[in-house]
Amino acid sequence: MRIGVFVCRCGTNIAGTVDTQAVAARALASPDVVYATELLYTCSEPGQQEIQNAVLSHRLQGVVVAACSPRMHELTFRRAVEKAGLNRYMLEMANIREHVSWIGQDKAANTEKAVELVRMAVAKVRRNEPLFGSQVPLTKRVMVIGGGVAGIQAALDCADAGLDVVLVEREPTIGGKMAKLDKTFPTIDCSSCILGPKMVDVAQNENITLHTATEVESLSGTIGNFTVTLRKKAVYVDWDACTGCGLCMEKCPSKKHPDGFNEGLATAPAIRIPFPQAIPKKAHIERSACRYFTTGKCRVCQKICPVGAVRFDMEDRQVVENVGAVIVATGYDLFDPAAYGEYGAGRYPDVITGMQFERILSASGPFGGHIRRPSDGREPRDIVFVACVGSRDKSVGRPYCSGVCCMVIAKQAILARDHLPEARCYVFYMDIRAPGKNYDEFVRRAVEEYGVQYIRGRVGKIYPKGDRLVVQGADTLLGAQVEVEADLVVLATGVEPSRGARELAEKLHISADTHGFFMEGHPKLKPVETNTAGIYLAGACQGPKDIPASVAQGSAAAAKVLALFARDSMTTDPQTAHVAEKVCIGCGKCLTVCPFGAIQWKTLRDGTKKAQVLETVCQGCGLCNATCPPKAVQLRHFTDDQILAELEALCA
């Protein structure tokens, strides 16, 4: 075989601590290496050109590039050698940057290690074989998981481009957190007024299949061909019949159950339509609140329903959808402030969360849009807002900034002053984060036009005094402990990933970070992709963000999917496992160990069973290869032969 070795200087990134010229020179000592050189920037156009020229002029059959991590440019170099006429899998990379030059300053030791890595790569490429992916048709359907504003935007963009969209939402209605907001910053647009039309578009769009009160149970397959099993939860109302008239809600006798939509500040009947603009506008029954389910008596709703839509015998059912791509937009939840015992959240009724205050402000909220204290219904005169409750605080495991609360507080303070012109608002803050368009000006408005008193310092304790509350904090600009007596205290609680995010990440085979936010492919350059091909991210599930950023990511993810589906078929990755049937003993260990369910039984003509790999499902992890006792299963491009050749080159 004729092998060429190209050692990259990467400017001074590699050359600074590795003698690249020596590495190239010593590469020639390996048998079959007929050409070796160093390059300044191999990934650049001239660099790639040089490799292609060398392939042609030296009739190379295999190429080794000693440079950065393959995660950076393996694809670049594969394409380059392919253009020069080689099969793209006749290329190997030796990582002499992340694994060598970036680790230490000892040039001699680094150079030795680089030489060894090149020798190993040469030994491997010598045993590489040309591989060819196959063309598989793409299923041009996309699943969007999560019906908040990011998911809605993604779904609409895909549907408008003509794609089939399956939108899955675990609540009975779409809308997410945005549907719970009163007004949005910095324009003070009414949230449901701007979201509502989009929600209706989703309902009316012919290309969108909407599954609400539905969760993802499992996902298998690979990019272009995923099989997703959904669990549609029993809502105990036939939505094909239900007209959303609301009569059942009026007559339901069980009215004392706390209402999640109103953050526990109001109660709702057991059978309910979540809110007036709900999509779909259908009723569902909360089992734990329903008298029939808990005591066996009642059924008033069933009797009263004019179309007989109530079905107590409904059960969960499964639905299987085949899609070519998935966009995850599962949003966020809010930190539980009970962790701060010194604030009394949960103990004192007038210490509430930002979301609870949002519901109080809302005209469809618990007090009809009038700001009242939960304890006695009085209008508050002094309202204190506390920033960073469960953000920027490593003592409660939340070291990050939630990004939106500074703006939410300014908005809520402005709205409070709007509703109650006699009210006085105070904000305890550490810093103000207002980076967006017109954001900083908005916060200044709160201070200058609406007279909100901003106090720089955290709050140490909140305690009741009579029927009011005392907020004991600090003004670090003055260097003093300060006290503010309040009628109502609003805690700006931090953003955390949606409940169940980690479990969903496992099902989808995507990664989540330490806090549970899903991991993007690259923090700078791939904000809406994951490391799992075909699965994209949008919105707060990837990290705290505001509505414009969520909407932007929804559209961005849609663009990625549309690009994917621009062709009619995909080339599969040939780096999959393959079973040598004659060697296979039919023990079944590989079936058990495969995390993706990519191996199945194949029965031969004589009745013996052998393992068979489903190439479109196989992700190329190699567990089966490692597990197989007779080594019948081999992972193409990472066979035992190839890997052991590398080890022998190292140990020689």
The answer to whether residue 476 forms part of the interface with other proteins (CB under 8 A) is yes
Residue 28, Cβ neighbours under 10 Å: how many? 11
DSSP string, 498-521: PTTHHHHHHHHT--B-TTSPBPPS
Piece of the chain touching other proteins by CB under 8 A; list 287-295, 462-470, 484-492, 510-518: 462-470
The residue count for binding other proteins (CB under 8 A) is 31
The set of long-range contacts for 434-441, using a CB threshold of 8 Å and a minimum separation of 24, is 434/406, 434/407, 434/410, 436/186, 436/407, 436/546, 436/548, 437/186, 438/186, 439/185, 439/186, 439/407, 441/186
As beta bridge partners, residue 288 has none
The answer to whether residue 494 forms part of the interface with other proteins (CB under 8 A) is no
Piece of the chain touching other proteins by CB under 8 A; list 84-92, 164-172, 477-485, 609-617: 477-485
The answer to whether residue 340 forms part of the interface with other proteins (CB under 8 A) is yes
Cβ contacts of residue 397 below 8 Å, gap of 6+? none
Least distance between other proteins and beta carbon 390 (Å): 10
Identify the H or E element spanning 486. Answer: strand 480-486
Least distance between other proteins and beta carbon 471 (Å): 9
CA 94 – CA 112 distance, rounded (Å): 13
Identify the H or E element spanning 70. Answer: helix 70-83
The answer to whether residue 394 forms part of the interface with other proteins (CB under 8 A) is yes
Piece of the chain touching other proteins by CB under 8 A; list 22-30, 298-306, 387-395, 496-504: 387-395
Least distance between other proteins and beta carbon 347 (Å): 7
Amino acid in position 32 = D
The answer to whether residue 297 forms part of the interface with other proteins (CB under 8 A) is no
Least distance between other proteins and beta carbon 376 (Å): 17
Q: Give, as ranges, the residues between 414 and 433 that touch other proteins (CB under 8 A).
A: 430
**Cβ 307 vs Cβ 297: under 8 Å:** no
Identify the H or E element spanning 629. Answer: none
CA 539 – CA 557 distance, rounded (Å): 10
**Exposure class string for 182-199: b at 16+ Cβ within 10 A, else e:** bbbbbeeeebbeebbebb
382 vs 393 by CB, closer to other proteins: 393
The answer to whether residue 472 forms part of the interface with other proteins (CB under 8 A) is yes
Q: Give, as ranges, the residues between 225 and 244 that touch other proteins (CB under 8 A).
A: none
29 vs 478 by CB, closer to other proteins: 478
DSSP string, 608-622: -EEEEE-TTT-----
The answer to whether residue 475 forms part of the interface with other proteins (CB under 8 A) is yes
Q: Of 2, 58, 299, 347, which one interacts with other proteins (CB under 8 A)?
A: 347
Q: Of 274, 366, 457, 494, which one interacts with other proteins (CB under 8 A)?
A: 457
**Cβ 532 vs Cβ 508: under 8 Å:** yes
The answer to whether residue 481 forms part of the interface with other proteins (CB under 8 A) is yes
Least distance between other proteins and beta carbon 492 (Å): 14
**Cβ 331 vs Cβ 176: under 8 Å:** yes
489 vs 561 by CB, closer to other proteins: 489
Q: Of 479, 523, 607, 629, which one interacts with other proteins (CB under 8 A)?
A: 479
Piece of the chain touching other proteins by CB under 8 A; list 41-49, 104-112, 120-128, 468-476: 468-476
Identify the H or E element spanning 227. Answer: strand 225-232
Least distance between other proteins and beta carbon 477 (Å): 9
**Which letter does DSSP use for residue 600 in this model?**
E
Least distance between other proteins and beta carbon 462 (Å): 8
Closest residue by Cα to residue 205 from 162, 168, 146: 162
The answer to whether residue 641 forms part of the interface with other proteins (CB under 8 A) is no
The answer to whether residue 336 forms part of the interface with other proteins (CB under 8 A) is no
CA distance readout (Å), 246 to 235, 272, 275, 276, 597: 15, 8, 11, 10, 45
Cβ contacts of residue 57 below 8 Å, gap of 6+? none
- Indicate the SS3 state at residue 133: coil
Residue ranges of alpha helices (H) inside 429-581 are 439-448, 501-508, 547-564
| Structure tokens belonging to residue 546 | 């505001």
Least distance between other proteins and beta carbon 401 (Å): 11
Q: Name the packing angle between helices 107-127 and 640-651 (round to 10°).
A: 150
Piece of the chain touching other proteins by CB under 8 A; list 75-83, 132-140, 386-394, 564-572: 386-394
Residue with tokens 């392939």: 55
**Cβ 38 vs Cβ 69: under 8 Å:** no
Least distance between other proteins and beta carbon 379 (Å): 24
Piece of the chain touching other proteins by CB under 8 A; list 31-39, 201-209, 460-468, 597-605: 460-468
The answer to whether residue 480 forms part of the interface with other proteins (CB under 8 A) is yes
Q: Of 54, 168, 459, 537, which one interacts with other proteins (CB under 8 A)?
A: 459
Closest residue by Cα to residue 343 from 464, 428, 479: 464
| Structure tokens belonging to residue 532 | 């799992």
**Cβ 511 vs Cβ 530: under 8 Å:** yes
The answer to whether residue 397 forms part of the interface with other proteins (CB under 8 A) is no
36 vs 345 by CB, closer to other proteins: 345
438 vs 476 by CB, closer to other proteins: 476
Least distance between other proteins and beta carbon 544 (Å): 17
Q: Of 456, 515, 589, 631, which one interacts with other proteins (CB under 8 A)?
A: 456
Least distance between other proteins and beta carbon 203 (Å): 44
Least distance between other proteins and beta carbon 439 (Å): 22
The answer to whether residue 466 forms part of the interface with other proteins (CB under 8 A) is yes
146 vs 544 by CB, closer to other proteins: 544
The answer to whether residue 485 forms part of the interface with other proteins (CB under 8 A) is no
Least distance between other proteins and beta carbon 353 (Å): 18
The answer to whether residue 341 forms part of the interface with other proteins (CB under 8 A) is yes
**Cβ 535 vs Cβ 508: under 8 Å:** yes
250 vs 467 by CB, closer to other proteins: 467
Least distance between other proteins and beta carbon 457 (Å): 4
Identify the H or E element spanning 455. Answer: strand 453-456
The answer to whether residue 395 forms part of the interface with other proteins (CB under 8 A) is yes
Least distance between other proteins and beta carbon 458 (Å): 4
Piece of the chain touching other proteins by CB under 8 A; list 92-100, 155-163, 310-318, 453-461: 453-461
Least distance between other proteins and beta carbon 473 (Å): 5
What is the binding site for other proteins (CB under 8 A)? 340-342, 344, 347, 388, 392-396, 430, 456-461, 463-466, 472-476, 479-482
